[in-house]
Structure 1
Amino acid sequence: MKHNFGAGPCILPQEVFKEAAAAVLDFNGLSILEVSHRSADFVKVMEEARENVKKALNVPEGYTVLFLQGGASLGFLIAAYNLAGKHKRAAYINTGTWATKAVKEGANAGLEAIQIASSEDKGFNYIPDASEIPEDIDFLHYTSNNTIVGTQFKSIPETNVPLVCDMSSDIFSQPIDVSKFDLIYAGAQKNLGPAGATLYIVKDSILGKSSLHIPTYLDLAVHAKKDSMFNTPPVYSVFVSNLNLKHLLKNGGVEEMAKKNQAKADLLYNEIDNNPNFEGTTEVKDRSLMNVTFRLTDDSKKERFDQLWNDGNIVGLKGHRSVGGYRASMYNALELKSVEALVSIMKSL
């Protein structure tokens, strides 16, 4: 058995893998890979997946759930186009690589994209204060979890303007108050399903209100009218995401998942803080529960440590190429025993 600490695509529950594999061979007489997205069988899957998102996150009335393509990288642009208002000005909290790209795409959409707070001065190793939010903006955008450096917002920013969040790497890991957001988007490949689908949860009242001319595919109102079927959706990714959502709901939902994720994070951070061979790389109060970043205090032990975790069937532990060190990504499906295996190796160094 390998312990997968990779940052994505994600680990999924074994039960989900088995069901997904079976459907490749037989999904009501066809392979799920060849079934028409217009067939009654798949339309039912899409409808169920959207409803299961609503159940899992307690999405209130007045919101539409969509499964589209393009990942968060396209979501940066979609968010800017659909939330553009009379000011043609958007505010961003910059906490890392993906937030930086969101700022860039806001500008590419034709908005004045301003950074009201940034942690770039310290390599993005903390969450900056964003208490002063201007009112002459169309929306505030932030990225809830920084997968590369390993920081995470512990509360939702308070604001009177429309709020947008890229939750690609921590959605479904804990309860969230969807009613505080006008748009949430998230690539599936962290906690939801295979790469290919992107989840959007959009407040109906913002649809069709943009001050910009939106290219057809980027217009969320178009997709809402077509129930995520404007074009061929990423069928297999949606199908497996629905399997995973059903598994989540059957096993206590996001509330239970939050407890498990906290237990995994506590175990690993405790070892980092108490083992003189290691040190964390982010501010303690802003540590991510999904992506734990750390490094050796003595680089001469690197070869030995790398050998130990490789021999211990651990994969995906190397830090992102832009920051180095180590990164243990602990998405929902990673079991506590995998974290225990890593901690045991760290103790033996």
Structure 2
Amino acid sequence: MTSSTRPARRPANPNFSCGPCTKHPGWSTRSLDGALLGRSHRAKDGKARLKRAIELTRSLLAVPDDYLIAIMPGSDTGAFEAALWSMIGARPVDALAWESFGKIWITDIIKQLRIADARVMEADFGRLPDLGAVDFSRDVVFTANGTTSGVRVPGYDWIAADRQGLTFVDATSAIFAQPVDWTKIDVLTYSWQKVLGGEAAHGMLILSPRAVARIDAYTPPWPLPKLFRLKKGGKLDAAIFDGDTINTPSMLCVEDYLDALGWAESIGGLSGLMARADANAKVLFDWIARTPWVANLAVDPATWSNTSVCLKVTDPDISALGREAEAAFAKELAFRLEAEGVARDIGAYRDAPPGLRIWTGATVDRSDLEALTPWLDWAFAETKAQYAKAA
């Protein structure tokens, strides 16, 4: 129920941004005391730190031994574009999008790389395209979790085990929170600043043996910027996947990522991370079920994200005002909550439908989400009363 009574309890941590997401519980700058500052990342000690980050990533995510892992510049965007620019074009492509970032990859494929035989399969915010229509004789490009729509793929069973093409998966808001079937994935990318709350500007690129074979055998017809070059002497540059980064990484950010990986292990590893995200999301899902003025932007509950929960206002009095007024109302909700110091950075993504977007990944404490929901009701009641008074 909505309430105009100001809640007494506040979230201890009001940071609910979907990226960069909040630091893990107990984090402090003391976690960075061991950072290798003022040293070369190519020195023995620097390379050992980078290699350690790769090894811990492999262990925590249970990445198969024959898959390769690299630290890339440019966050998830840099990692994913390096993969696209290095491998796309050898086969026709099916490119899927149901939110903002999937559409960015379509722009790369269609307008930048100009792949002639590319099928675009799109769906409106809140829905998935027809996964059954995907042709796995082609390369397939998709996001595992649509951060800006709150829609995730319901597992990986829809991907053909005997596929001829490669699967390219942008998993930046899914990794460490949702199961990954590595047998169905050839290229996977993510950034440190999403699910584990690391610092920005660094991404991870994970390649299957089939993806490695593609890089070795295929040379794209377009020039590659230095930051995208995964080959050396006509073959995969193996050193990149052993801790030799393409450009200079921040060793402060590396230390922060190592700290986040250590925290993840301390709470039970991957299963502990996924359990926390599921429990966090359930707080919002249960609140949605009992709240008449709001709904999940994702239509099918089987696709509801457990990290980026996107909300739309469904109150008929607000809907009757029109889309422009709906957008202003949602912005006022987010502004009011931030002004109260109870929820920061929860406005919908700029390209998404009007509403709110709340991060529920593992670094968030469930108690903070439980404290937040009464404030959401309060902010709605206050904002609606303000609109009624102005009418």
Secondary structure, aligned partner of 1:4? coil
Q: Any runs of at least 4 consecutive aligned residues in structure 1 with deviations exceeding 6 A, and if so which? A: none
Equivalent residue for 2:263, pick from 232, 247, 271: 247
Distance 2:343 2:114 in 1: 45
Query: Which deviations, in whole Å up to 9, do the C-alpha atoms of 1:50-80 show, x marking residues without a partner?
Result: 0111111111121111111023333343222
In our comparison, the structure showing a higher alpha carbon Rg is 2
Distance verdict in 2 for CA 1:77–1:312, change over 3 Å = closer
Query: What is the match of residue 2 of structure 1?
Result: 13
Q: Is the 8 A contact 1:174 1:258 kept in 2?
A: yes
Aligned-residue offset at 1:150: 1.4
Aligned to 1:186: 190
Report Cα offsets for 1:34-55 as digits up to 9, x if no partner.
Answer: 2221233322211111011111
Q: TM-score, normalising length from structure 2?
A: 0.78
Structure 1 segments unaligned to the other structure (5+ residues): none
Q: Is the CA contact (8 Å cut-off) linking 1:77 and 1:109 kept in structure 2?
A: no
Residue aligning to 2:144: 144
Alignment coverage as a number of residue pairs? 337
With structure 1 as the length reference, what TM-score do the two structures score?
A: 0.87
Indicate conservation of the 8 Å contact 1:92/1:114, yes or no: yes
Provide closer, same or farther for how the CA distance between residues 110 and 62 of structure 1 changes in structure 2, counting only shifts above 3 A.
farther
Q: Which amino acid aligns with 1:203?
A: S
- CA root-mean-square deviation: 2.5
> Does structure 2 retain, via aligned residues, the 8 Å contact 1:57–1:175?
no
Judge conservation of contact 2:18–2:308 (CA < 8 Å) in 1: yes
2:389 maps to none
Native 8 Å contact 1:147 1:169 kept in 2: yes
Partner in structure 2 of residue 22 of structure 1? 33
Could you tell me how far 1:211 is from its partner in structure 2? 3.8
Indicate whether 1:209 and 2:210 are aligned.
no
Rounded to whole Å, the distance in 2 between the matches of 1:308 and 1:239 is: 33
The correspondence for 2:281, drawn from 265, 279, 298, is: 265
Q: CA deviation at 1:106?
A: 2.0
Asked if 1:162 is matched to 2:166, the reply is: yes
Q: What does residue 316 of structure 1 align with?
A: 345
CA distance in 1 between counterparts of 2:295 and 2:58 reads 39
How far off its partner does 1:199 sit?
A: 0.5
Mean CA deviation greater in 210-219 or 62-71? 210-219
CA deviation profile, 1:3-48 (whole Å, cap 9, x unmatched): 111121121214443344434xxx4xxxx44222123332221111
Native 8 Å contact 2:31 2:256 kept in 1? yes
Determine the structure 2 residue equivalent to 1:284. 300
2:5 is matched with which residue?
none
| Structural mapping, 1:40-119, within 5 Å | 40-84=44-88, 86-87=90-91, 89-107=92-110, 108-112=112-116, 114-119=118-123
Native 8 Å contact 1:59 1:179 kept in 2? no
In structure 2, give the amino acid aligned to 1:240: D
AA paired with 2:40?
A: S
Q: Which residue is 1:125 aligned to?
A: 126
Output one character per residue of 1:155-214: Cα deviation in whole Å (capped at 9) or x when no partner. 123121321100111211133122321110112211241101100111244332224156
Deviations 1:289-345 (A, max 9, x none): 111111332549865785356425221122223322111112220110111111122
Letter matched to residue 82 of structure 2: I
Give 1:172's match in structure 2, choosing from 176, 199, 215: 176
Unaligned stretches of 5+ in structure 2?
Answer: 1-11, 322-328, 382-391
